[in-house]
Chain A
Amino acid sequence: MTRGLWWRLGPLWSLVSLLLIVYAVTVVTSYLGESVQVQFQYALVNLVIVVALYMFIGTSGVLSFGHVAFVALGAWTVGLLTIESDLKRNLLSDMFPFLFEVQAPWLPAILIGGIVGGLLALLVAPVLMRLNGLQAGIATFALLLVVGQVLTYWSSIGPRSGQSMVGIPDVLDLQTTMFFALGAIVIAWLFQRTRPARLLRAAREDGIAAAASGINVVTQRVIAFALSGLIAGIAGGLFALTNRVVQASLFGIELTFITLAMLVLGGMLSLSGAVIGALVFSVIDLVLVRLQNGLEIGSVIVSLPQGTRPIILGAILVLMLIFRPSGLTGGREIVWPFRRTPPLPGVPPTNE
């Protein structure tokens, strides 16, 4: 009986613990001064991107370099919807005229941004999802580059190349961003427990066996890809409202690399991995920024030379991949620490 109860509550704990961790870290950073708050807001936006990445990459085992394209579309949409009409007419004069008129408050704008991102994902998925491994990586990478080029040069839907969208209202604070991050975690957790996600995990472990059991892998992947595209689009909207300047060059290889690095750092096979990876990476980054600006410890000022921060972050990723390729969490979820786990019949003990 008790075991039955644990059975039901155990997985819930993996969600609650993540929500508590994100909440706690946010509360701590909100006491550390404005610059830390601002930086952590970016960190939360990145966390949402990483959760979106996890929903697809972690569940399906297929690499995607393309999610930042959906982030870009979300940011673009929110930029276009929240900048005032007059400002758009003056600054973005090459755009289609109807784009001057469309407006939305920021909250619906974020949701529309998510839908736009999700729609693009849904549109390209039936084609891209047939690919595996390296080919999938390269094809999604090509998608990222295509979207980047179009957003950079097509001035009918945005600023001329090299210019950026400005005038996005200052409405998003740290707390609201945190609620979006918590929401994304809940959605990802719920998604994990749905049938498509389970089928995908089966296919991830053994594609041939899954197909032989009648799983249409492509269909399941399309669902996961579109849903994670939606979350990535929402993250894009959050990014636009956080950064308040949107430019195509912000959504390129660098953001792709950093968010993937976060996922790999935490462990790409579990939601805990995505969340903890993003948090740990961001906290290290926060510390490094402090150190670069000079940190006073007593009477000594410790400071890192400028430019060493990304080097350290890159080195952490590479070392992590060498020494612990399955990430900080090893691809497992957080379990209730006080549970006595009875050995399951038929499951061999894992050697970790």
Chain B
Amino acid sequence: MNQLIQSLVDALSAGATLGLAALAIGLVFGVIRLANFAQGEIITASGYSIIFTWQLGWYVAIPIAILIGVILSLLMELGVFSRMRTATPATLLVASFGLSFLLQRVYELLFSNNVQTAPVAPELAQSVDVGGIRIQLLSVATIVIAGVLLFALIQFLNKSIWGLQLQAAAADFRTARLVGIPASRVIGLSFALSGILAAAVAFVSTVQTGAVGPTFGVPIVILALIGAVIGGIDKIYGALAGGFLVGFATSMLASWLPSDMSNFRDAYVFLLVIIVLIIRPSGLLVSGGTVRT
């Protein structure tokens, strides 16, 4: 029983992390049909900045990480994706693959192939005893951070003019433009928000590992992208739910698979993904229709 609760908390936290990462991908995809594989490199950049600036205090490190995430995200849009507006989603995905590869090699050149380490928020790495159940503080913190961010984001999307414009553009970009929603603002906004989310993901991941290397963001973005697609990348909340599901399933499988099979954990997750894609190609949470491409 205790073990079940422990693994549930861990799985919730893993799901929350990937949910945020998938949400970042879904936000951008909804507006410009880009499944941004290079989102992982935004996470890596924020991760590096957290590692390098943590000793200055969290109140310095976290704003800088957010700033770097947002700036890099906007730079990608301005430098690359804004010049590819007519490309198909598949071409955009390949381009983001290329960008991701390119940035990883740049990180290698700048920060070497080895991981950079620093104890980030070591107080969160402890476990606490709650009625005989050992729970990682970080897991709780992750769930709280994700919850707060989501609440703020939902408020923003539903209550502010900019948020509503973003939702409209994500639902139907062309019609949104026809009714006078400024395209560049909405696109920039979606990239900026995805940069903020990347910084949040980078924070919880660096606390967990305490180390960042050139490919830090890759495993995160692979699972998040897959999650976003099976949840329904076309819908903001579909992407969120899909990411959460993949994170949750991965963590649960890690806790409960017999040890001689746990090596194949990811293989099971990916098989599940294929099955979901076959049964519900447009996403688990999307009713009918296919993804607009």
**Residue positions of A touching B, CB distance < 8 A:** 63, 127-128, 130-135, 137-139, 141-143, 145-146, 149-150, 152-154, 161, 253-254, 257, 260-261, 264, 305, 307-308, 310-311, 314-315, 317-318, 321-322, 325
Contact present for A137 and B108 (CB under 8 Å): no
Contact present for A318 and B98 (CB under 8 Å): yes
**Residue positions of B touching A, CB distance < 8 A:** 35, 80, 83-84, 87-91, 93-95, 97-99, 101-102, 105-106, 108-109, 218, 222, 225-226, 229-230, 233, 263-264, 266-267, 270-271, 273-274, 277-278, 281-282, 290-291, 293
Among candidates B93, B274, B278, residue contacting A134 with C-beta atoms closer than 8 Å: B93
**Residues of chain A lying within 8 A (CB to CB) of residue B291:** 133-135
Contact present for B94 and A264 (CB under 8 Å): yes
7 interchain pairs, CB-CB under 8 A: A127-B274, A133-B89, A134-B93, A142-B273, A260-B97, A307-B105, A321-B91
Contacts A131-B278, A321-B91 given; 11 further ones with Cβ under 8 A?
A: A63-B94, A138-B225, A139-B273, A141-B222, A143-B270, A146-B271, A257-B101, A264-B91, A315-B102, A321-B95, A325-B91
Contact present for A133 and B293 (CB under 8 Å): yes
Q: Could you tell me the distance between the alpha carbons of A325 and B172 in the complex, rounded to whole angstroms? A: 25
Given A134-B233, A257-B97, residue A322 in contact with residue B267 (CB < 8 A):
no
**Residues of chain A lying within 8 A (CB to CB) of residue B230:** 138
Q: Could you tell me the distance between the alpha carbons of A334 and B3 in the complex, rounded to whole angstroms? A: 65
Q: Could you tell me the distance between the alpha carbons of A324 and B98 in the complex, rounded to whole angstroms? A: 15
A347 to chain B, nearest CB (A): 23
Q: Could you tell me the distance between the alpha carbons of A63 and B101 in the complex, rounded to whole angstroms? A: 18
Contact present for B229 and A321 (CB under 8 Å): no
Contact present for B277 and A138 (CB under 8 Å): yes
Contact present for B90 and A137 (CB under 8 Å): yes
Tell me the number of A-to-B contacts counted with CB atoms below 8 Å. 126
A31 to chain B, nearest CB (A): 31
Contact present for B264 and A153 (CB under 8 Å): yes
Among candidates A135, A143, A310, residue contacting B101 with C-beta atoms closer than 8 Å: A310
Given A134-B89, A145-B267, residue A321 in contact with residue B98 (CB < 8 A):
yes
Given A308-B109, A321-B91, residue A138 in contact with residue B273 (CB < 8 A):
yes
Contact present for A322 and B274 (CB under 8 Å): no
Contact present for B84 and A127 (CB under 8 Å): no
Contact present for B106 and A311 (CB under 8 Å): yes
Q: Looking across the interface, which residue of chain A has its beta carbon closest to that of B29? A: A134
Given A150-B267, A307-B108, A317-B98, residue A128 in contact with residue B274 (CB < 8 A):
yes
Q: Looking across the interface, which residue of chain B has its beta carbon closest to that of A318? A: B98
Most chain B CB within 10 A, of A137, A260, A315, is at: A137
Contact present for A134 and B229 (CB under 8 Å): yes
Among candidates B218, B233, B270, residue contacting A142 with C-beta atoms closer than 8 Å: B270
Given A138-B225, A321-B95, residue A314 in contact with residue B274 (CB < 8 A):
no
Given A133-B89, A134-B291, A322-B84, residue A261 in contact with residue B264 (CB < 8 A):
no
B211 to chain A, nearest CB (A): 19
Q: Could you tell me the distance between the alpha carbons of A307 and B112 in the complex, rounded to whole angstroms? A: 10
Among candidates A139, A153, A254, A318, residue contacting B99 with C-beta atoms closer than 8 Å: A318
Q: Could you tell me the distance between the alpha carbons of A325 and B90 in the complex, rounded to whole angstroms? A: 12
Q: Looking across the interface, which residue of chain B has its beta carbon closest to that of A258? A: B101
Q: Looking across the interface, which residue of chain B has its beta carbon closest to that of A133? A: B293
